[in-house]
Amino acid sequence: MYSENSKTEQQCIELFHKLFEDREQLMHKLASEGWEKSDLFFVHHPTAQQRYEEALNFHNNIKNFFRRNDKKSADDPPKREDFLEQEIDINNINPMEELIKIWGLCLWDVFSNNHEVVGADRKVYDIGSFRGAGGFIADYINDCLMETETKYDYLDFYMGTIWASNRADLTPVYELIFSKLKVLNCDWIYHFPRLYLVDLGDMKEDSEAERENDFLNYDPSESVAKQLEKEKRTEEASRLKEDLDRIYEESVEEAKYQPLPEIVLAYKNIYGHLPGGWPHRGM
């Protein structure tokens, strides 16, 4: 997790102390008229329409996945009438706890997802991989901030705001995070999202070969069949890799002409320029 090009774990913790300090001031800036009137309130308490739209988007994504794989999804799309407004007991809401959770989710977006936060010495504040970053944030909040019985684990922050980003405008939260990082002489390097192919087939075959290390069981026909299957899998993997590379290149090119994502826009608003790694630096 930590190398000579990375900050130490203690240095990462000290940075998080500074990012989480003045929480009452953060609350005032993000919800000056009260938490229930803040846009961020809906991150934890989505409306019926928001829940319906999320379910519909999920359904359409699954449908498109099956279509690409020449399969048919039998599920019917969700109906708006299935999503009713939920009664919210304001007295049982802990605004500061909800703000801390949102702050942690947005920090995952900044520090993880292959992005990098670097100090003035260009060393990276590496808090771990996708899962590792979620665990770091959960442990930090549990150990240093929580005054209730609520305890988090890595799953509470894994993938950051991916499930809640459409419920509220998170740009102000990102702006406050980047404001703090700028004051601390830190910078942020953006890495465009990309899927990679990991083929574990050979690893599986090696383990099976070790368990069946008896030449008396050798079957020429079976050996030929396995080799053909391996070659077929290799060809399919190669085609899939080409597809993923093409999708990545198309996504990067398309991003040049689309509105900036909230997190990139927030960085630009604070630093005055686009982050290193963003595909169109000229804007």
**CB-based contact 43:167 (threshold 8 Å):** yes
**CB-based contact 103:20 (threshold 8 Å):** yes
Report the pLDDT value the prediction gives residue 222, as an integer from 0 to 100.
57
Report the pLDDT value the prediction gives residue 224, as an integer from 0 to 100.
55
Which residue carries 């990139």 as its tokens? Answer: 264
Report the pLDDT value the prediction gives residue 176, as an integer from 0 to 100.
98
Report the pLDDT value the prediction gives residue 248, as an integer from 0 to 100.
59
CA distance 4 to 124: 10
DSSP state string for 77-100? PP-GGG-PPPP--GGG--HHHHHH
Report the pLDDT value the prediction gives residue 196, as an integer from 0 to 100.
53
- The pLDDT tens digits along the chain (283 residues) read 557 899 999 999 999 999 999 999 999 999 999 999 999 999 999 998 888 888 888 788 777 766 655 556 557 888 888 888 878 877 889 999 999 999 999 999 999 989 999 999 999 999 998 999 999 999 999 999 977 788 999 999 999 999 888 999 999 999 999 999 999 999 999 998 765 555 555 545 454 555 445 444 445 555 556 666 666 677 776 766 666 666 656 666 776 678 899 999 999 999 999 999 888 654 4
Report the pLDDT value the prediction gives residue 157, as an integer from 0 to 100.
97
**CB-based contact 267:275 (threshold 8 Å):** yes
Report the pLDDT value the prediction gives residue 186, as an integer from 0 to 100.
98
Report the pLDDT value the prediction gives residue 139, as an integer from 0 to 100.
96
CA distance 32 to 99: 13
pTM, full prediction:
0.77
Report the pLDDT value the prediction gives residue 216, as an integer from 0 to 100.
45
Report the pLDDT value the prediction gives residue 146, as an integer from 0 to 100.
78
**How far is CA 102 from each of CA 108, 125, 133, 175, 235, rounded to the nearest angstrom?**
10, 20, 15, 13, 44
